């Protein structure tokens, strides 16, 4: 087997040569060459454009040409590799795609009867791909405009190699893509339980965007959340447009981080899909059922927590926005939600630029009960929760200059705060008409 790494682009949108961009302590091209050589590929050719910067020492041959398109780089690589049985094509744009794919691709090609092997992640095709030597003639044919033409010409000769590496779908094209790749490489590998324990709401964000492919991967992963009776009664609307986010922020108590985050996620309880399913079979959805509404909200909450965990695992940070329920009808109109869909909560998401003091949680004894709910021990746990909240306030004032630009009251404990929030005359925090709004959106909430 031979490998062709195409690195002939100028990296105009990235602002630097992709092959020489650093991921950790090595350049992208070094990572790719090392992966393929470690996988047993006999010859690796890197195709560069004339005048490109010199590459670091590589266990590969470098072929210089002037390729206007990627297919021309592949043709140049084919001219350089000589005799072979299979050849892999790997654009340098897909910087992390070889990390756990190269070895599997080599072994898979040795055993398959197919002529083309394409990497697939959850049903979506990406890079790299491998082709048998006899298909080189099709690639070299002047009428072939892209490798996609070769792959699509005869589906019977193509087989997918299922992998779990999202980077087969995510190329390094703009600075925000490189930021995402570096976060992926540099973040600590840790158990999920450890990730959960270090959660903090992030309310300030760097200006870099969240790449589309990264957000798609996060949501694609999150949708495997537990769901009642396979309802999957959730949906999410991703809002990037600054003007639309500004209007959303106005509806969400004018929270600054809703405006400043590069993306706002409206996590919805969605019975519209269930309504359509019922209609297909001449049935009518019971959208007036309180239990059905609760199932949709619970589905949305689990789904949203999955989004948060998946995002934090990739170096992103977020803040749940309960104020998305302040004006549910207006927000539904802005997002053009159909009937039987409501925003359960929002999420401001981006690359965190703050480092807030962790608030901690109340003692485990207030949460975990053995065999029966032990109310007798709660007084001590509430005292501990008060002390923990006061300690957080002192540390936040001392190290952060306050919270949200204001000094935190160091005398109030957890119970004080809960009494002020939920012991007032209108505990819904301005959402006294929420039931009426939900009914307007198609949720009857019948309890009889």
Would you state the structure tokens that stand for residue 438, as one six-digit string?
Answer: 């939900």
pLDDT reading at 55 higher than 90? yes
Given a cut of 70, whether residue 117 has pLDDT beyond it is yes
Q: Which residues contact residue 189 at a Cβ distance below 8 angstroms, ignoring those fewer than 6 apart?
A: none
Q: What is residue 68's predicted lDDT score, i.e. its pLDDT?
A: 79
Question: Poorest-confidence range of 74-78, 135-139, 359-363, 444-448?
Answer: 444-448
Q: Which domains does the chain have, with CATH numbers?
A: 2-168 (3.90.550.10), 198-356 (3.40.109.10), 358-427 (no CATH)
Residue 336 parent element (H or E) = none
What pLDDT does residue 396 have? 94
- CA-nearest of 448, 191, 205 to 319 is 205
CA-to-CA separations, 260 to 175, 243, 318, 431, in angstroms, rounded: 19, 11, 12, 25
For the segment 209-228, the average pLDDT, to the nearest whole number, is 92
Q: Which residues are registered as beta bridge partners of 266?
A: 237, 346
pLDDT at position 73: 92
Q: How confident is the model at residue 123 (pLDDT cuts 50, 70, 90)?
A: confident
Q: Report in angstroms the alpha-carbon separations of 64 from 16, 52, 237, 299.
A: 18, 9, 45, 54
Q: For residue 179, what pLDDT band results from cuts at 50, 70 and 90?
A: confident
Across the chain, mean pLDDT equals 92
pTM of the predicted model as reported, rounded to 2 decimal places: 0.82
Question: Could you tell me the pLDDT band of residue 425, with boundaries at 50, 70 and 90?
Answer: low
Q: Average pLDDT in the 270-293 region?
A: 94
Q: What is the pLDDT of residue 302?
A: 98
pLDDT in tens, 88-101: 999 999 999 998 89
The H or E element containing residue 198 is none
Q: Is the pLDDT assigned to residue 429 strictly greater than 70?
A: no
**CA distance linking residue 211 with residue 55, whole number of Å:** 28
């Amino acid at each position: 087997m031979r490998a062709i790494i195409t690195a002939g682009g100028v990296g105009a949108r990235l602002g630097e040569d992709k092959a020489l961009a650093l991921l950790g302590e090595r350049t992208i091209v070094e990572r790719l060459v090392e992966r393929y050589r470690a996988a047993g590929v006999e010859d690796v050719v890197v195709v560069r454009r004339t005048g490109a910067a010199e590459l670091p020492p590589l266990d590969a041959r470098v072929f210089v040409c002037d390729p206007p398109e990627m297919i021309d780089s592949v043709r140049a690589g084919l001219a350089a590799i000589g005799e072979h049985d299979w050849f892999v094509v790997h654009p340098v744009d897909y910087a992390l795609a070889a990390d756990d794919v190269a070895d599997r691709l080599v072994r898979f090609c040795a055993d398959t009867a197919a002529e083309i092997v394409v990497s697939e992640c959850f049903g979506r095709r990406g890079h790299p791909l491998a082709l048998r030597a006899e298909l080189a003639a099709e690639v070299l044919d002047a009428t072939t405009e892209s490798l996609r033409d070769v792959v699509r010409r005869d589906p019977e000769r193509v087989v997918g190699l299922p992998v779990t590496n999202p980077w087969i779908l995510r190329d390094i094209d703009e600075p925000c893509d490189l930021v995402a790749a570096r976060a992926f490489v540099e973040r600590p590998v840790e158990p999920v339980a450890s990730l959960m324990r270090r959660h903090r709401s992030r309310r300030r964000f760097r200006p870099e965007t969240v790449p589309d492919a990264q957000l798609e991967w996060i949501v694609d992963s999150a949708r495997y959340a537990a769901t009642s009776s396979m309802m999957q009664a959730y949906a999410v609307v991703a809002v990037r447009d600054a003007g639309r986010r500004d209007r959303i922020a106005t509806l969400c108590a004018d929270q600054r981080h809703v405006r400043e985050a590069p993306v706002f996620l409206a996590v919805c309880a969605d019975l519209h899909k269930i309504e359509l399913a019922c209609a297909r079979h001449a049935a009518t959805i019971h959208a007036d059922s309180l239990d059905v509404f609760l199932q949709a909200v619970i589905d949305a909450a689990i789904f949203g927590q999955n989004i948060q965990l998946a995002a934090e695992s990739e170096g992103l940070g977020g803040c749940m926005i309960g104020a998305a329920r302040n004006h549910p009808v207006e927000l539904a109109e802005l997002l053009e939600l159909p009937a039987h869909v409501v925003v359960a909560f929002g999420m401001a998401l981006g690359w965190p630029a703050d480092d807030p003091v962790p608030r901690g949680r109340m003692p485990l004894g207030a949460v975990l009960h053995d065999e029966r709910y032990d109310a007798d021990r709660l007084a001590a746990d509430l005292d501990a929760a008060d002390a923990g909240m006061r300690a957080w306030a002192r540390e936040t004032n001392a190290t952060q200059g306050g919270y949200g630009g204001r000094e935190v009251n160091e005398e109030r404990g957890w119970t004080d705060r809960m009494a002020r929030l939920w012991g007032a005359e209108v505990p819904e925090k301005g959402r006294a008409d929420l039931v009426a709004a939900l009914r307007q959106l198609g949720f009857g909430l019948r309890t009889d």
